[in-house]
Every structure is written in structure tokens, then in C-alpha cells.
Amino acid sequence: MSMRQYIGIVHKDPASDFGVSFPDFPGCISAGRTLAEAASLAQEALLAHIELMIEDGEAIPEPMTLERALADPDVGDGVPILVPLPPGHETSKAA
């Protein structure tokens, strides 16, 4: 079984930290002072968001394609990154 990865969108304004949002999970956001910190914290935010969805009995979506993510108007000038779920934390309830 391959590791599930979701697309995170990195946004950076001149006076802000790096922010990461997830087109597959509206409302799931994270931020960090550096890009590396933002990517690490994005993985933690994604995992926590998915765990809450599972607890609530919600279906976990399949990761969207890069093309679909880039076509999302909310992406704007954001830069996509792949955010993997940590090993052993695969989703148990896929949509």
C-alpha cells in the first residue's frame, strides 16, 4: 500500500509566516516561520483534522489531483506541496 499524500497550498505574504491550507479539507490550516516548519506543522494539522473527521464518522476524501487543486480559485498564487500522512496513520474511512 502506498503512502497517502494530500496537496497543501503554501501562501506567504511579506509580513506573515508561511501558511498552508488544504483544498481537500476546507478549514484545515497551519503556519510556520520557515517553509520547513510550515510543512512539518501542516502534516500535524492534517493528521489531527483527519482523526477528528474519523471520530465524527465523516468520510475522508481521496486526494485531489494537482490539476484540480491548481484550478481551485482559492489557491490563487499559492505554491503546492505534497503533505504525506505519517506511516501508520493511513485513513481508515476513505470517501
Instruction: Say how many domains are in the chain.
Output: 1
Per-residue model confidence (pLDDT) at position 37 = 96
User: Can you tell me the distance from the alpha carbon of 61 to that of 55, in angstroms, rounded to the nearest whole number?
Assistant: 15
Give every CB contact of residue 11 below 8 A, 6+ residues apart in sequence.
Answer: 18, 19, 20, 21, 76, 77, 78
What CATH number is associated with residue 64?
3.30.160.250
Whether residue 37 lies inside any domain: the answer is yes
Q: Which domain holds residue 61?
A: 5-84
pLDDT digits (tens, 9 = 90+) for 30-74: 999 999 999 999 999 999 999 999 999 999 999 999 899 888 887
Instruction: List b or e across 32-55, with b for residues whose CB sees 16 or more CB atoms inside 10 angstroms.
Output: beeeeebbebbbebbeebbeebee
Whether residue 89 lies inside any domain: the answer is no
Whether residue 25 lies inside any domain: the answer is yes
User: Can you tell me the distance from the alpha carbon of 50 to that of 11, in angstroms, rounded to the nearest whole number?
Assistant: 22
Per-residue model confidence (pLDDT) at position 70 = 86
Whether residue 56 lies inside any domain: the answer is yes
Residue 88 has pLDDT above 80, yes or no: no
Whether residue 32 lies inside any domain: the answer is yes
Whether residue 94 lies inside any domain: the answer is no
